[in-house]
Amino acid sequence: MSKRNSAEDAIKEEVKLELTPMIDVTFLILIFFMCTLKFKTLEGKLVSYLPTDKGLSTAQAAIEFEDAEIIMKIPQADWDKAPMAREVIFLKNGSNTPFGRSRSMIMADGGRTFVGFDLDPPSTLDDVMTFLREVRKNSPESKAKINAYARTPHAYVVHVLNMMIEAEFTDISYSGIPTYLIKRLNLPVDDPQRIK
């Protein structure tokens, strides 16, 4: 009887589950994973600085104006000629089609001698002036630039400068390309010394 009573007492006794160690272990595992976790970086992610003045922004976007750049080149065959005998080719930046060509010539007017231009076609300088006026009209804030290659007679630079002033440009700059750069420009395209 005593055995039977002890068995019944054991059945009646409540089974208690100790949660404290289980919670401790759970928190330890959680802390372990938090400390060892490394977030995977996005593959192919590019850091970019997007413009803040475009898109949905209400800020005014800056307007980019076209600049009027006149390039004056001397053909290689004329490099060693006297300045008055050199041919000058007038180009606008970004174009391989010239406005035309010119050679200097001595002209006389009423006993006064001055340097004039023998133009081919005759409208060369008029076309340059038309281009300058169009750029100025379409882009009021545009700049003008004279880019005279080495060996360009100075009379052409002064004449184009006067045309830019007449076209009402207020920001005019001048640059000349050094002779060594011209030599590198005329190298074959596949030559590693050529300027890209």
Is 102 a member of any domain? yes
- Non-local (6+) Cβ contacts of 174 within 8 A are 145, 146, 147, 148, 157, 161
Contact by Cβ (8 Å): 143, 171: yes
Is 22 a member of any domain? no
Is 150 a member of any domain? yes
The Cα-based distances of 159 to 6, 59, 93, 156 in angstroms read 124, 42, 18, 5
Is 38 a member of any domain? no
Reported in sequence order, the residue ranges of the chain that DSSP labels E, i.e. its strands, are 68-73, 87-92, 100-109, 112-120, 144-149, 172-177
Say what the pLDDT of residue 78 is: 86
Is 75 a member of any domain? yes
Say what the pLDDT of residue 25 is: 92
For residues 140 and 65, give the distance between their C-alpha atoms in angstroms, rounded to a whole number: 8
Let me know how many helices (H) and strands (E) the chain has, helices first.
5, 6
Closest by CA to 174, choosing from 148, 140, 143, is 148
Contact by Cβ (8 Å): 75, 87: yes
Is 193 a member of any domain? no
The bridge status of strand 68-73 relative to strand 87-92 is antiparallel
The Cα-based distances of 19 to 16, 24, 26, 27, 33 in angstroms read 9, 9, 10, 12, 21
Residues facing 71 on adjacent strands: 91, 147
Range of the domain at 149: 68-185
Say what the pLDDT of residue 184 is: 66
Query: Residues in the chain with pLDDT < 50?
Result: 196
- pTM to 2 decimal places: 0.56
Say what the pLDDT of residue 28 is: 93
In the chain, how many domains are there? Answer: 1
The single-letter code of the amino acid at 93 is N
Q: What is the dihedral of CA 22, 25, 27, 28, to 10 degrees?
A: 170
Is 36 a member of any domain? no
Q: Residue holding tokens 């005014």?
A: 60
Say what the pLDDT of residue 178 is: 57
Is 39 a member of any domain? no
Say what the pLDDT of residue 54 is: 58
